[in-house]
Each structure stands twice: as C-alpha cells, then as structure tokens.
Amino acid sequence: MRSRFHPYRDIVALSAPIAGIQFAQVALTSTDLLMMGLLGVQAVAAGGLAMLLYNQLRTMCVGMVTGVGNLIAAAAGRGEKRTGAKELDDTARGEVRALLRSALLVATLTATAAALLLVLASRLLPLLGQTPEVAAQARGIMLTLAPGLLPMLWLNVLRQFAVGMRRAGSLLRVTLISIAVNALLNALFIYGWLGLPRLGLAGIGLSTTLVQLWTFLVYLRTVGRDPLLGPLLALDAWRADRATVRTIAGMGTPIALTYGSEAAITSIASLFMGSFGAVALAASNIVNQLAYIVYQVNIGLSQGSSILVSRAIGKGQGHEVAEIARRAMTIALSIMTAVGLLYALVPSAVLRPFLGGEADPAVIATATTLLWFAIAHQYFKGSQNVCVGLLRGLGNTRAGLTGTLIGYWLIGIPAMALCAYPLGLGGYGVWFGLCLGFGATSLLLWRRFFLDLRPLTGTASPPLVSKEAR
C-alpha cells in the first residue's frame, strides 16, 4: 500500500530530469567551444570572451523566471487541497494560466533588455582593453547570439511551467537532440556548406540562436500535446495581470542578482589565478570544470526539492518541509562524498580526460592539490544551492541575495586576495578564500532556512494571483 509521503522518490523523480537537462546544456556549450577551436587561437579567445558575457546575461535572465515554477507548484498544491485529489479545480487552473502569461511577458521584457545590453557591450570591447582583432570577431558572435536570448527565456518559462506541474522529463529529450542539431549548424555556417554563407565565428552564434528557437518551438509543441499541460497553456502575454507581473519580477530579481553574483565570484577567482601564471590558471580551470559538472546534480536537487516545498506549503502541509530538506541533503551529501572519494583516491584518473596526451607535470601536480579544495568547495557550494532552492520554495528569494552579498563580497573575495597575496599562499590561497566564501554563505542561508521553518507547521499560503488575472 502506498504511504502518504515518498520524499526520496518524489525528489529523485523531479531532480533527475532537471540535472540531466543541466548536463545537456553543459554539453551544448562545450560543443560551441570545441567548434571554435577549429577556427584558431584568436577565434577561441574572441569566442570565449563573447560566451562569457552572453552566459552572464543568460544566467541572470533565467533567474528572473526561476521562481515561476514555485508559484505554479504552490497554486497547484492549493488546488489539490481544495479538491482533495491530484487534480486542479477551476481556481487553480486560472492561477496557473495567469502565472504563465505573466511570466512570458516578464521573459520578453527581460530578454529584450539583455539582448540590447549584449549588443552595447559588443561595441565597448575596445574600451575594455581588447585588441581590435579580438574585438571585431567577438562583436560578430555577440550580435548573432543576442536574438537567441528571447526564445531561450521563453523556453525556460515553459520549463518552469512543466517543472511546477511535475512534468519535467520531456525537456531533457528535446535538449539532447538540440546538441546534435547545434553541432551540425555550427559546421554548416563555419564552412558555408550546402550553399549557406560562410560566417566563421559569427556562424556559431547564429547556430546557437537558431537552435534556441527550434528547441522552443519543439518544446512548445510537446507541451501543447501534453494532456495535463496543454489545457493550461496560455501564450497571450499581452493580457498579463500587472499584480502577477510584479509578483514574478519581485521574486525573480533577487534570484537573478544571486545568480549573477555567483558567476562573478568565480570569474574573479579565475582572474586571481591567472596572475600566478598559465600553470596555475590551467589547473584551476580543470578543477573548476570538474566541480561545475558535479554542481549540476545539486542544481537538480535544488529545483526539485524547491518545487516539493512550494507544493507542500500550498497544500497546507508545512510540517513536511523539514523532511524534504533532510532527504534532499542526504542525496546531495551522498553523491558529493562518492565524488570526493574519487578525487582523493584516484586523482590522476579524474584529471586525465582534461589534460590530453602530453600533460604538463606541473599542471598535474597543482591540479591534484586543488582537488582537495574542490572537495570542500563541492560541499559548501552544493549545500548552499540546495538551501537556496528550499528557501525559494518557502517564498524567500531575498535571503539568497543577502547571503551571497555577505559571503562572497564581504568574506570570500577579500579572503581570496588576502590569502593569495599578503599571506603568500598563491593559487592555493585563492581556492581557500573561495571555499571560505561559499562556506560562510552556506551557513548564513541554512540559518535563515531554519528560522523560516519554525512558524510553518500547519499553515497554508495565500493565493499569489488575483481573481481578475485568472
């Protein structure tokens, strides 16, 4: 007989597809970087710079709509509570449609602003110390990448819609197919095959934009055919309710700034590492990439547990939140411990795929030592990310921003500079300071979570969408 609550199964069912999507997106970006390598070192430098700026804006754009999944989950939970079954009543359906159309309006405005910023940044590259050749090549790919921010963010709204309704798996299949499509289009535009224009580096940006549009249209068709999601689909963003738009923007802005802050501290750490030479930077990039891969699992757990918390609150089952948190962290810590053991026991096997055939012994030695910092890095950053998701499920998105501002900017970055330079620890000092910043942020966020958890037992959240918007 099925028990009342299956947190492990529910968390894994939601988190695994999301983590899979994250891994697929990492593969998509890796494909672009590999194709840039076919065009030479200067193309890699220009394209890497363009992708860095693009990804910074893309990440912050995604943050603006990340909370939509929680709002939809909460609305669905309230509907299930009213019906006493796993189906929505008319009120909940109206709330979900209102949230979706308002989210699409927020996405359109946000992505348009980000695209204009990317175009502006492409014109300012010479003022940032870039050579004319690199600036010219980077400008071309940035201009072709910019329009893709619109379908990318529309796709993320649909993704949050599906996740909020606990139907996350279908986007994974679409994303995996898009990797192959992207590689094919990259080659077509780079070399001008089949009579297409030979665009070089700009062609990689154009192929990425076309893949974003294609993926959005394919997934929109998938959602429209889904028996649960299709009847709730509302694309008429021009009918969005102002109050709901303000709710989504108010929830999304701190998330976007938190995501941007996290990307910034990693970039600053890389700049510090670069000051100690190519060996230190190469070793740091490899170890950071390893940590980034594992981090995708925690992103999945963060979003999956976040949706379950929102749904539990919507159903007036606040007493289940602590159990969701405990089991999400059990899964996260188990995976991170298993990976940490690999780092400690077989470092050469872990590093070898990233070093090529003629590996520099100095890079191997430095990276092997940095793997010990990566173990702590995983625990601190991973637990922090899971906690951010749990807090978002409780409706608290500002705690993540406050925690990162204190942990990253007041503790982490000063600690990196102090340990690396005055204390003379070099690159190892950078990673020590980085771990210290993530650790402090994690402690601040978990403290906030337990404080927010106290009054929740037996409470239900009020509707977040006005009747006029349904």
Note the pLDDT tens digit of each residue in 371-399: 999 999 989 998 998 999 899 888 888 88
Tell me what percent of the residues of the chain surpass a pLDDT of 70.
87
Same-domain status, 260 and 148: no
> Is 247 part of any domain?
no
Do residues 65 and 202 both lie within one domain? Answer: yes
Residue 467 belongs to a domain? yes
**pLDDT tens digits along 274-310:** 778 777 877 787 787 788 778 888 888 888 888 888 8
Please give the pLDDT value at position 407.
93
2: left (phi over 0), alpha (psi -120 to 50) or beta: beta
Q: Is 372 among the domain residues?
A: yes
Does any domain span residue 245?
Answer: no
One domain for residues 171 and 260: no
Domain count, the chain: 2
Same domain, 61 and 198: yes
Q: Give the domain range for residue 389.
A: 254-470
Residues 140 and 288 in one domain: no
pLDDT band with cut points at 50, 70 and 90 for residue 104: very high
Q: Are residues 367 and 235 in the same domain?
A: no
Q: How confident is the model at residue 85 (pLDDT cuts 50, 70, 90)?
A: low
Are 297 and 358 part of one and the same domain?
yes
Considering the domain architecture, whether residues 331 and 469 belong to the same structural domain is answered as: yes
Same domain, residue pair 304 and 444: yes
Average pLDDT for the chain: 82
Asked if the model's pLDDT at residue 6 lies above 60, the reply is: no
Across the range 446-453, mean pLDDT stands at 90
Can you give the pLDDT at residue 7?
Answer: 52
Q: What is the mean pLDDT of residues 251-257?
A: 88
